[in-house]
Copies of this chain bind each other. A is one copy, B any other.
Amino acid sequence: MEKSKEHKPAVEKRRIQILEAACTVMGKQGIAATRVGDVAKYLGISTGLVHYHFDTKDELLAAAFRHAAEKELAALRLLVTTDGTPRELLNIVINNFFPASSFSSWRLWIEGWAVALRSESFQRTVMELDEAWVEVLADTLTDGVASGDFACVNPRDSAWRLACLIEGLAIQQVAHGGVINDVETRRLVADAVEAEIS
């Protein structure tokens, strides 16, 4: 009983409309606290219609989360197609990752990891996207090494280390507005980047 019919544009449009609504609501209330009634109300439609397009709530939320993640990834990939020195590109990628630049997106990710502990489909999404994410960073580093700008021993390792560092810092900053603020985050990352590429 597959609901997604690629061929019917009107249906697909509605599907996406519901997905984006779900993303907005999830961002506001959190994944766990998102009811299908909330999504429906946000669009001014009935809950029945939501279930007409998505069999279960879990399916809806998983699809919405993936939708949001893929949009972000596409934006990142677009960003690194610009011309520039490896250094400039690296800065662009790193900046895009930063907590401050996309607070609500990090909130979603943090919740996404937690949900992934119990949900098969969330786990897949989170895994694929995290890896694609790191790959962009790794490619940037590899390019810089090829051009002689960077001197990573192992660009892939460096990419994972930097990505995980930023993830950890994002948690510190987003989940609890603790000791680590935006300025400090930037300094810590900048130092780590320097250490990795030189």
Contacts and interface: CB of A to CB of B under 8 A. Distances in A.
Interface in A55-112: 107, 110-111
Interface residues of A, number: 41
A126 B176 contact: yes
A163 interface: yes
Majority secondary structure of chain A interface residues (helix, strand, loop or mixed): helix
A110 B107 contact: no
A192 interface: yes
A43 interface: no
B167 A188 contact: no
Contacts of A191: 157, 161
Contacts of A161: 165, 188, 191-192
A117 interface: yes
A157 B113 contact: no
A114 interface: yes
A146 B155 CA distance: 33
Given A160-B188, A188-B161, A192-B161, A116 B167 contact: no
For the complex of A and B, list the 6 residue pairs with the smallest distance between their C-beta atoms, beginning with the closest.
Answer: A164-B168, A127-B176, A114-B114, A167-B168, A113-B175, A168-B168
Given A110-B117, A126-B175, A130-B178, 15 more contacts: A30-B114, A30-B118, A33-B118, A113-B114, A113-B171, A113-B175, A116-B175, A116-B176, A117-B174, A160-B180, A161-B192, A164-B167, A165-B165, A167-B167, A167-B171
